[in-house]
Amino acid sequence: MTIVDAVVILFLLLGAVLGFKKGAIRSLVGLVGTIAVVVIAYYLKNPVADLLYNFVPFFDFSGSWQGLVTLNILLYESLAYVLVFVILYSILSLILKLTGILEKFLTMTIILGIPSKIIGAVLGFLEAVVFNFIILFVLLQFNVSHTWIKESTIAMSILDKTPLIGSMVNETYDAILEISDLQEKYEDTKNKDAYNGEILSIMLKYHVITPETTRKLIESNKLDFNGAEEILNTFEGGKND
């Protein structure tokens, strides 16, 4: 068992305990609300990411990522998702406070209170699975934590087998794994143009970024590596859909 496995298990148990304390109604609203927030945030992140592309400078990473300007795309996609998620979840938290009043009526009687807490524990566990998925999916995109997550059996099972949410981010997930596989290929090379080119091709293939947005980034000199224009030309007009 890895450290990541242990942390994930503790997080799942914590979710069950919190669900037990909150009861059925609050836990049900929390689970449904969290899933809704995850889905809505995923589809609302694109315009936010476009704003970040346009108004925030691209970083020059260090270490093995030095010179890989294309990875800024994943960075800002992740940041955009987190920003939208935090805003939407803050709204959900207000709704959860209102449902807490209803839960108090259930816990006033032992007959209703005990089943409510048991159901709440199950729902709390499922909500923790959703939160684990979000955290792991975001951390998977960073070089420091990527290897740790891939070595965790439980973490990868959550990423591979979580229904609905897993299928929603399937293309981005596959893109991240393909990009990570390029590290060994380009480990000893200084040809960052070719490395950037393959990363951009993967992102366009899996629709992480659109050809229209890519065109804007090239014209603004944010994607300024040799070969970017040629790669984009092969995807414009839906030639590689």
Look up residue 129 and give its two tokens: 């699975």
Contact present, 180 and 144 (Cβ < 8 Å) = no
Instruction: State the pLDDT at residue 72.
Output: 93
Instruction: State the pLDDT at residue 108.
Output: 56
Across 49-70, average pLDDT: 88
Q: Cβ neighbours of residue 223 under 8 Å, at least 6 residues apart?
A: 69, 70, 196, 200, 214, 217
Q: Where are the domains of the chain?
A: 3-235
Span 125-184, pLDDT tens digits: 999 999 999 999 988 877 778 889 989 999 999 999 998 888 888 899 999 989 988 887
Q: Which amino acid is at 21?
A: K
Span 4-42, pLDDT tens digits: 999 999 999 999 999 998 888 888 888 999 999 999 999
184 vs 238, residue with greater confidence: 184
Instruction: State the pLDDT at residue 238.
Output: 55
User: 100, exposed or middle or buried, with CB in 10 Å at 0-12, 13-18, 19+?
Assistant: middle
Span 102-121, pLDDT tens digits: 556 655 555 567 888 899 99
- Its pTM stands at 0.79
Instruction: State the pLDDT at residue 107.
Output: 58
Span 222-233, pLDDT tens digits: 999 999 999 999
Span 190-218, pLDDT tens digits: 789 999 999 999 999 999 999 999 999 99
pLDDT at 68 over 80: yes
Give the CA dihedral 54, 198, 79, 60, nearest 10 degrees: -70
End-to-end, the C-alpha distance of the chain in Å comes to: 40
